[in-house]
Structures are given as C-alpha cells and as structure tokens.
C-alpha cells in the first residue's frame, strides 16, 4: 500500500511533457543497478531543498540488469537509447531535456548530486558552461594513477594548445550548461570524446566557461572506461579537428627540411659512402607540400562550415593563394620539371655532360613535376571547398 501511494503521489507531481523546467539532470546508464537509484534520489533531493523545478533523465544504454527499473522506481524519467556509447546516451538525454539548464553527470555515484549549486550558479549568472574539477579531491581508488597523472593532464594540455582552453580537468563528467550553449555547440560525438568536444567547441565559439572544484568518489559497480581505446578516440578527435597541428605545421617543417636538403649539391661523403640528400629533399618537399595542401583544404572546409572561426590562415589564403595564382605556380613547376628532364635527354643524346649530375637533375625534375601536378589538383579542391 505504501509503495502504491508513493508512486501515485510522484505521478501527480510530474511536470507536463511540454512544460519548461529550471534544471534537467541527465544520467547515462549501462548496468548501474547498484548506484542509479541513489543518484536519482540525490538529484531529486537537491531539487526539493533548492526549490528548483527540475527532472532527472536516465538514458538506459542497453542495460542487462535492473538499472532502468531502479531508476524509474526512484523517480527518474527513463529513456532507452539503442545507439551505444557515452556520448550517444548523453546526446539523447540532452535532446529530451526540458530544463533551461542541463546538468550532465554519471549514474555510478562518483559525483555528489546532493549539492549542484556550485555547478548551476555560474550558468545562472551569465556563464555558458561550468565544468567540475576533480583533481584536488579524489577519493582513494576513485581514479587510476595513469588517468590522474598522464591521461587527463595530457588531454587537458592538448585542448589548451589547440583551443586556448583554461580548464584543468577537461575530462570531468560533471558539468552544467545553458540550453542556448547546448544548441550552439552542435555536439556530435558518440563516445567518451564528447567531453573533449564540448570543451573544444565552447572555447572556439568564445563561450564563457567556469570551473569549480568538486569531490570524486569511488564508483559503484564495474567501470566501462577502456584506457587505450578511449584515450585514442580523444586524441583522434582532437587531431581531426585541428588541421593546423595535424597537417599545416608538419608540412611547413617538412618543406623547410626538404629545401635545406636540396642545398647539399654533390652529396655528403661519409667515409667511403656518398649520401645524395637531393633524393631525401625531393621526398620531403613532396610530402610537405601535400600536407600543406591537405591542411589548407581541411582548414578552409572547417571554416566554411563554422567548425572553426575565420582566422589568419583563411584570410592569408584568400589574399595570396587564389585558384589562378596557385595554378600559375603549378604551371611553373611543371615546366621546370619538364625542362630539367629535357636537359637530361639532351645530355644522353649528345653525350655533352653540361656540367650537371644526371641523378640530381632527375630527382629535381620528378619532384617539380609531382609537386606541380599535386598543387594544381589541391588548388581546385581548396577553391571548391571555399565557394561562398
């Protein structure tokens, strides 16, 4: 009788499906039967003591235990998401949320949901997002040494390098953000890399992001985190969304190294062996220019789609490297390469050495032809991407 009465009372106080709320707490859930009910109860208790009109959404991501039943019994709105993954579950919950502020957390009891004020208050006061920082208060056994000392600091450093982020704990899963910030971030990641995507997009869109210290407890139940797989997914995501560091900077280094190698005419003699750096120089130049073209095209694509902001790279390209200019440069390289090949042919037919080395000249000729052809194709690709 008591259970029936409690259930009936809860159903009567549930907000209408279309009613706007103050806060939505979103908890992804995969086999968290031990902890999910307590997490839901803690969040609901915070609603009551704070006078906040809110909801708890538990996104069941294919649990094989009684997680969904326990969450619903505790008072959560349970939604099933078939697409597996930490990010996929969160994105479904964000889309279903009715709160003006969305709080993301976990259903494993690692985060304290009984006091969400430090997380929510900055958003109420004008910040777009608040990120928790666990590093100063981690319970014994709650985080492995590799994650605490290597993984999280490394990813946080890369985000700082790539985006200017000032967040010290970029992988913390306890965050709050406004509905407007959620819509502006246009999140897509289905895996653990969602945490990095949020930081990257928030800073690239000049959002105001706060950070607040939180406690981090040992989880209840078995962890779903895979160190190497999830670490690679984060690194992969960051690199694919930062063509400056993935393509352009390595391309510049390779081109400079190639040009320096080409200055060593006649080879370098080491003992009885002679090394011909002109061959290495040609290869470095080809790979370097290809990296620059791919990086430029990627950068222009991301800028044209609003993934990254217009910057000095896009302005420099449009001012100095239009399609016609690049095709002209490609034509000069092609003619130079063909001309050098013509000299080699003339040397072979006439027997006149012309004072040139056949091997070095051939290496230069083929490098010029390959770079010229690739540059012409890359110029068309960049122009196609940058159509306004």
Same domain, 90 and 53: yes
pLDDT tens digits, one per residue of 10-22: 443 455 566 789 9
Number of domains forming the structure of the chain = 2
The mean pLDDT of 216-240, rounded to a whole number, is 84
pLDDT band at 223 (very low <50, low <70, confident <90, very high): confident
| Lowest mean pLDDT across 39-43, 129-133, 177-181, 346-350 | 346-350
Q: Is the pLDDT reported for residue 158 higher than 50?
A: yes
Beta strand spans in the chain (E): 21-29, 54-60, 77-80, 99-104, 129-133, 175-178, 209-213, 268-270, 273-275
Strand partners, 130: 176, 210
pLDDT value for 9: 37
| Dihedral (CA of 191, 296, 375, 259) sign | negative
What's the pTM value of the predicted model, to 2 decimals?
0.80
DSSP SS3 for 209 = strand
The mean pLDDT of 345-373, rounded to a whole number, is 83
pLDDT value for 6: 38
pLDDT value for 13: 46
String of b and e for 192-221 (b: at least 16 CB within 10 Å)?
A: bbbbbbbbbbbbbeebebbbbebbbbebbb
Same domain, 20 and 139: yes
Q: Is the pLDDT reported for residue 109 higher than 90?
A: yes
Same domain, 201 and 347: no
Same domain, 276 and 216: no
Q: Is the pLDDT reported for residue 71 higher than 50?
A: yes
Domain boundary residue, one of 225, 240, 255: 240
Same domain, 250 and 191: no
Same domain, 324 and 221: no
Same domain, 54 and 186: yes
Strand partners, 176: 103, 130
- Spatial distance between the Cα atoms of 270 and 294, rounded to a whole number of angstroms: 37
Instruction: Look up the domain containing 27 and give its range.
Output: 12-240
Domain boundary residue, one of 240, 255, 283: 240
């Amino acid at each position: 009788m008591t259970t029936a009465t409690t259930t009936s009372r809860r159903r009567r106080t549930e907000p209408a499906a279309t009613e706007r709320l103050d806060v939505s707490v979103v908890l992804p859930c995969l086999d968290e039967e031990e902890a999910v009910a307590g997490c839901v109860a803690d969040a609901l208790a915070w609603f009551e003591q704070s006078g906040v009109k809110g909801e708890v959404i538990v996104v069941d991501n294919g649990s094989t235990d009684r997680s969904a039943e326990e969450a619903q019994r505790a008072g959560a709105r349970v939604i099933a998401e078939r697409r597996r993954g930490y990010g996929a579950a969160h994105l479904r919950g964000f889309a279903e949320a009715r709160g003006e502020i969305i709080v993301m957390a976990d259903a494993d009891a690692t985060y304290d949901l009984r006091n969400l004020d430090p997380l929510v208050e900055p958003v109420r006061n004008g910040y777009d997002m608040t990120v928790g920082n666990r590093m100063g208060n981690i319970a014994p056994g709650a985080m492995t040494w590799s994650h605490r000392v290597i993984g999280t600091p490394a990813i946080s450093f890369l985000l700082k390098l790539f985006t200017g982020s000032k967040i010290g704990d970029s992988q913390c899963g306890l965050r709050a953000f406004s509905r407007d910030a959620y819509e502006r971030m246009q999140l897509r990641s289905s895996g653990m890399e969602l945490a990095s995507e949020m930081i990257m997009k928030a800073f690239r869109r000049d959002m105001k992001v706060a950070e607040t210290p939180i406690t981090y407890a040992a989880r209840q139940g078995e962890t779903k985190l895979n160190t190497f797989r999830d670490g690679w997914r984060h690194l992969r995501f960051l690199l694919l969304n930062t063509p400056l560091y993935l393509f352009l900077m390595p391309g510049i280094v390779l081109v400079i190294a190639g040009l320096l190698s080409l200055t060593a005419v006649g080879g370098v003699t080491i003992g009885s062996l002679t090394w011909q750096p002109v061959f290495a120089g040609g290869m470095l130049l080809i790979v370097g220019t290809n990296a620059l073209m791919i990086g430029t095209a990627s950068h222009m694509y991301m800028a044209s789609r609003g993934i990254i902001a217009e910057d000095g790279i896009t302005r420099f390209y449009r001012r100095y490297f239009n399609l016609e200019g690049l095709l002209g440069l490609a034509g000069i390289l092609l003619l130079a390469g063909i001309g050098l090949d013509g000299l080699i042919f003339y040397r072979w037919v006439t027997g006149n050495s012309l004072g040139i080395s056949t091997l070095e000249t051939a290496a230069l000729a083929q490098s010029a032809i390959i770079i010229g052809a690739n540059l012409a194709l890359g110029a068309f690709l960049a122009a196609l991407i940058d159509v306004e």
